[in-house]
Amino acid sequence: MNRNKGKRSTRKKDYRNLKEIKVTAESELLAFLFEQFKNQSRNSVKSLLSSHRVSVDGAPISQFDFKLYPGDTVIISNKAIRRKARSKLPIIFEDDDLIVISKPSGLLSIASDNEKSSTAYRMLSDYVQQKDRRNRIFVVHRLDEGTSGVLMVAKNFKIREALQEKWNETVTKRGYYAIVEGVMKKPEGTFKSYLKKNSQNLMYSSKRRGDGQLAITHYKQIKTNGTYSLLDVSIDTGRKNQIRVHLGESGHYVIGDDKYGKPSNPIGRLGLHAYALEFIHPFTGKKVSFNAPMPKDFDNLLAHPR
């Protein structure tokens, strides 16, 4: 007779088969791990930190009292996470609440399934923790890996929440330079559609109202050499890959876009640069503006098409 029939599984929760945990309430890291792994010895749980096997949102953490907030992701690695020497990111602005950088093309904003360490988030985490190991940063918004330009992170949970809670009302301008193939039929215009994700994890437009997330993109052609055109683009909504999808569907692909465009890659990178971010500071009520100049290879391509 099978005595186990109908009984619920009593398998212990083990960090060896649980790699990624979402935080739902404020806590200190060690207390959080104790709560997650109640059936493990306290010393074995502590050893996860002392052996450098724990990261929070892609940044390796070893201090027991590190503060966690809702939305954080704690990752348990099978081996020690080594800190690598990292090149400095160009900092446009920094105060007690915010850091604004000029992100280079080719650098992820945050960790992905395939890349955990080489990210702007990880580099900025290392930067603030040089002053105090308890310091941390919080993601406010993101740029695609291939997009360069203005990227802002918060230095405390309070301002991250204040910015994200009313992001579309707080942000007054998000400006981009885009280099596209060909010449636009109209020198300026607006794309409006509802973006959805397909089975290949790619975004596409639906014209049917409410069928997806509303996305609005404005453009103005400011220069062309017949082969390529430079556009000044602004967005009213911040949907995933929004600019690339809208321009690609218009037939004027962003250069270097192998996801929504064509293989042509005349400058060896995606032709998209976030040049301006303006918003109302939630604590001071003042409008602040940050800018990153257009990359030289954008100008060079328009002057000397390849």
283 and 203 in contact (C-beta within 8 Å)? no
Domain boundaries defined on the chain: 20-75, 91-157, 168-303
58: Cα within 13 Å, side-chain hemisphere: 22
Neighbours of 195 (CB within 10 A): 20
Q: Does domain 91-157 have CATH number 3.30.2350.10?
A: yes
Please name which of 194, 255, 183 lies closest in space to residue 219, comparing C-alpha atoms: 183
User: Tell me, what's the pLDDT at 17?
Assistant: 47
Q: Which of 144, 232, 297, 299 is catalytic?
A: 144
- The span from the CA of 210 to the CA of 231, in Å, is 28
CATH number of the domain located at residue range(s) 20-75 in this protein: 3.10.290.10
- First-to-last C-alpha distance (Å) of the chain: 77
- The predicted model scores a pTM of 0.76
Q: What's 83's DSSP letter?
A: -
Known catalytic residue at 144: yes
Fold equal for 91-157 and 168-303 = yes
Homologous superfamily assigned to 168-303? Pseudouridine synthase (3.30.2350.10)
Convert the pLDDT of each residue in 8-35 to its tens digit: 444 445 555 457 899 999 999 999 999 9
Q: What is the mean pLDDT of residues 253-277?
A: 93
- The span from the CA of 293 to the CA of 237, in Å, is 23
- The span from the CA of 60 to the CA of 284, in Å, is 33
147: Cα within 13 Å, side-chain hemisphere: 23
The rounded percent of the chain whose pLDDT value lies above 90 is: 56
